[in-house]
């Protein structure tokens, strides 16, 4: 198993989570449309690839990352052309004759500044063309559309087009999901490095996704995390004692694959020199990891999507929690007053920080960072 930091993994590099995969497969089999709900770096994209790699014999599956799309039209065009891709068309040979014949019958005859045209028809309405392709799917097959970074696409459209356009896209998706002629032919699985629920809540459009089945992708359990570290070390020819695995995980606390892979990579670099792993080496690996700005800077940059005052509020909240170790809600409310934010605005930002994996709230309404690693990085690089 390779040590891979910050990228989706596939095949033998995927750390299997059978119960979670069984849940996803059950929901797909039932025809439910799915939202993979989890903070960043937990492994949602890797799970999508796992679905693609393990279920492709039973279904027609296509993975599409729409992060770069900044308009509604560009989004639909991206989906349409992904279905027109030679590799995807080739995969249909033994699966869906109707869709295969439909795609083969399409011939692009003209491309101009006004868009692509088919034959002598007018420029394509890509949304309409996409729905038309869905209708062409054979009755005994089902298309699984794995839409990664969909929430980022919605946020892009809000920023570059308008809130109305973003809501229009959300509404169009819901209409497709609810269309009785298409419901048995397609399943949508959405994921993204930012929370779709938070994004749509900010534009009061939650009603457009309330039909989705949420599947939570949690951090690893302690037993899973120990086995993961042991496997990474073994396959990369490093010897590590159980007590040192426990010490390593205690420093991470929030067992997401990203943190585990990041520190294991630093351990491998040190192991080449030291030929040993102990608590002192683990501490040095953590220091090295925290010194690499590129592995943590996205946590700060993510806040740039917020308007100026809300961004300032979010940063001050995180800085307070990182310097104190924890904070009560009333302290966060006082900061909101300072930034002239309403209680609802402040709560929405706090919810975003929780959903996106920065902090958590205990039963006594105290807020803490999920991981001491991010807390230390934030305190050293943003607070101070």
Give the pLDDT score at 140. Answer: 76
Give the pLDDT score at 272. Answer: 96
Using pLDDT thresholds of 50, 70 and 90, give the confidence band for residue 356: confident
Domain ranges of the chain: 18-216, 223-295, 297-383
The more confident residue out of 37 and 253 is 253
Average pLDDT over residues 139-155: 90
Using pLDDT thresholds of 50, 70 and 90, give the confidence band for residue 121: low
Give the pLDDT score at 85. Answer: 82
Domain 18-216: homologous superfamily in CATH: P-loop containing nucleotide triphosphate hydrolases (3.40.50.300)
The more confident residue out of 91 and 252 is 252
- pTM for the model stands at 0.86
Give the pLDDT score at 123. Answer: 63
Does position 249 have pLDDT exceeding 80, yes or no?
yes
Interval 6-31: pLDDT, tens? 888 999 999 999 999 999 999 999 99
Q: What is the mean pLDDT of the chain?
A: 89
Interval 65-102: pLDDT, tens? 999 999 999 999 999 888 888 788 878 877 788 888 87
Average pLDDT over residues 111-122: 45
Does position 247 have pLDDT exceeding 80, yes or no?
yes
Q: Domain 223-295: give its CATH architecture.
A: Orthogonal Bundle (1.10)
Out of 84-93, 98-107, 212-221, pick the least confident. Answer: 98-107
Give the pLDDT score at 122. Answer: 54
Give the pLDDT score at 110. Answer: 40
CB 281 within 8 A of CB 267: yes
Does position 192 have pLDDT exceeding 70, yes or no?
yes
Using pLDDT thresholds of 50, 70 and 90, give the confidence band for residue 33: very high
HEC secondary structure over the chain: CCCCCCCCCCHHHCCCCHHHHHHHHHHHHHCCCEEEECCCCCCHHHHHHHHHHHHCCCCEEEEEECCCCCCHHHHHHHHHHHHHCHHHHHHCCCCCHHHHHHHHHCCEEEEECCEEEECCCCCCCHHHHHHHHHHCCCCCCCEEEEEECHHHHHHHHHHHCCHHHHHHHHHHHHHHHHCCCCCCCEEEEEECCCCHHHHHHHCCCHHHCCCCEEEECCCCCHHHHHHHHHHHHHHCCCCCCHHHHHHHHHHHCCCCHHHHHHHHHHHHHHHHHHCCCCHHHHHHHHHHHHHCHHHCHHHHHHHHHCCHHHHHHHHHHHHHHHHHCCEEHHHHHHHHHHCCCCHHHHHHHHHHHHHCCCEEECCCCEEEECCHHHHHHHHHHHHC
Report the 10 Å Cβ neighbour count for 19. Answer: 8
Does position 32 have pLDDT exceeding 50, yes or no?
yes
Query: In the structure encoding, which two tokens stand for residue 363, read together?
Result: 């039963």
Domain 297-383 CATH class label: mainly alpha
Interval 318-354: pLDDT, tens? 999 999 999 999 999 999 999 999 999 999 899 889 9
Interval 166-188: pLDDT, tens? 999 999 999 999 998 887 889 99
């Amino acid at each position: 198993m390779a040590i891979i930091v910050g990228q989706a993994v596939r095949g033998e590099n995927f750390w299997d989570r059978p119960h979670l995969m069984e849940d996803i497969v059950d929901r797909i089999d039932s025809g439910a449309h799915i939202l993979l709900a989890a903070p960043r770096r937990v492994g949602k994209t890797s799970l999508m690839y796992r679905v693609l790699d393990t279920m492709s014999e039973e279904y027609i599956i296509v993975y599409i990352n729409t992060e770069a799309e900044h308009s509604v039209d560009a989004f639909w065009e991206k989906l349409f052309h992904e279905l027109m891709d030679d590799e995807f068309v080739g995969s249909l040979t033994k699966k869906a004759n109707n869709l295969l014949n439909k795609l083969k019958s399409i011939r692009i005859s003209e491309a101009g500044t006004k868009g692509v045209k088919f034959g002598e028809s007018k420029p394509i309405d890509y949304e309409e063309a996409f729905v038309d392709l869905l209708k062409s799917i054979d009755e005994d097959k089902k298309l699984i559309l794995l839409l990664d970074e969909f929430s980022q696409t919605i946020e892009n459209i809000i920023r570059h087009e308008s809130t109305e356009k973003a809501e229009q896209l959300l509404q169009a998706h819901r209409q497709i999901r609810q269309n009785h002629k298409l419901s048995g032919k397609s399943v949508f699985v959405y994921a993204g490095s930012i929370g779709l629920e938070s994004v749509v809540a900010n534009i009061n459009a939650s009603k457009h996704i309330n039909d989705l089945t949420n599947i939570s992708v949690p951090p690893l359990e302690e037993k899973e995390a120990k086995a993961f570290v042991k496997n990474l070390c073994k396959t990369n020819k490093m010897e590590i004692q159980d007590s040192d695995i426990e010490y390593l995980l205690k420093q991470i606390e929030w067992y997401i694959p990203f943190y585990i892979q990041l520190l294991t990579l630093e351990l491998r670099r040190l192991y080449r020199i030291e030929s040993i792993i102990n608590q002192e080496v683990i501490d040095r690996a953590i220091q090295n990891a925290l010194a690499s700005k590129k592995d943590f800077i996205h946590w700060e940059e993510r806040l740039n999507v917020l308007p100026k005052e809300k961004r300032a509020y979010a940063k001050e909240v995180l800085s307070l929690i990182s310097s104190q170790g924890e904070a009560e809600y009333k302290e966060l409310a006082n900061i909101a007053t300072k930034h002239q934010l309403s209680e609802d605005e402040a709560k929405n930002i706090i919810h975003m920080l929780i959903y996106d994996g920065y902090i958590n709230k205990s039963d006594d309404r105290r807020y803490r960072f999920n991981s001491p690693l991010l807390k230390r990085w934030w305190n050293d690089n943003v607070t101070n």
